[in-house]
Structure 1
C-alpha cells in the first residue's frame, strides 16, 4: 500500500496527460519522507465513458483520485503527505481547470482491517 486509483472522464483524455499524472503521483508519495513504502505504491487510471455530471447541460468533466492505504501513520504525517499530493494534482490540471468546467477531488481510505497481500518488490528497496 498505498494504491491510487484515478478516475477521469473521457472528455478530457487528450488534455489530461494521465501517464504523466500517475508518475507524479508516485513521486509525490515517494517524496513524502518514508510515509509510504516505495515498493507498495501502485497507481492506475480508469477512463470513464459512462458518467453524468451535475444537470448534464454542459460538457463537464471530473477527476477523482482515491488513495487507499493501510493503517499505522500519524494524522500529522498523513495530512502533510495528502495535502502535498492534492496540491500536485491541482497543479497538474491547472491549465485545463482554467479552460473548462472541471471538478477535482481526492479521498483517502485507511483500512481498519488487515489487508491480504504478497509483494516481493520490497526486497529491491531494502538496504
Structure 2
C-alpha cells in the first residue's frame, strides 16, 4: 500500500497519455514527506492503476463529457496533514497533466483519499519491497 486507482471515461484515451499520468502520479506520491521529512509511501508498495469505464453516464448525457476519478487508499497511521498533502499533491499533478484536456472539453476530476483502519486481513507477498529496501 498505497494504491491509487483511477477510473475514467474512455473518451479521454485519445486525448491524454494515461500511462504518462500513472507514472506522474506515482512519482508525485513518492515525493510526499511526513512532518519529519521522511517519505510517506514506500517505493515498492506504490501502485497506480487506471481503468476505463466500460459504461458511463456523465451529467445530463447531452454532451461528450468526460470524468476522471482518483482514489488513493493508504494504510492507517498518517496524520491528517499528511493525508491532505497527499491529496493536494495528486490533485495538482493530475490538473497539470490534464491541463490541455481541460482547455478543450468539459471534464470533471475528483481525488479521494481513504484510510483503511478497519482491515481484518492484509496478506502480502512481494519481491519489490526487499529489492527497493536494498537499493535505497
Q: Residue 35 of structure 1 contacts residue 78 of structure 1 at CA under 8 Å; is this kept in 2? A: no
* 1:122 maps to 2:132: no
CA deviation string 1:3-62 (max 9, x = no partner): 011111111111121000000011001111311111111111101131001110111000
Does 2:100 correspond to 1:95? yes
Distance in 1 between residues matched to 2:42 and 2:60, nearest whole Å: 41
CA distance in 1: counterparts of 2:89 and 2:47, whole angstroms: 18
CA RMSD of aligned residues (A): 1.2
1:101-120 map, 5 Å: 101-114=106-119, 115-120=122-127
Runs of 4+ aligned residues of structure 1 deviating over 3 Å after TM superposition are none
Aligned residues: 127
What aligned pairs does 1:1-127 form with structure 2 within 5 A after superposition? 1-33=1-33, 34-114=39-119, 115-127=122-134
- The 3-state SS of whatever aligns with 1:5 is strand
Structure 1 residue 82, shift from structure 2 partner: 1.7
TM-score (normalizing by structure 1): 0.93
- In the alignment, structure 2 segments of 5+ residues that lack a partner are 34-38
Match of 2:36 in 1: none
Q: Measure, in 1, the Cα distance between the counterparts of 2:113 and 2:123.
A: 19
Q: Is the 8 A contact 1:8 1:62 kept in 2?
A: yes
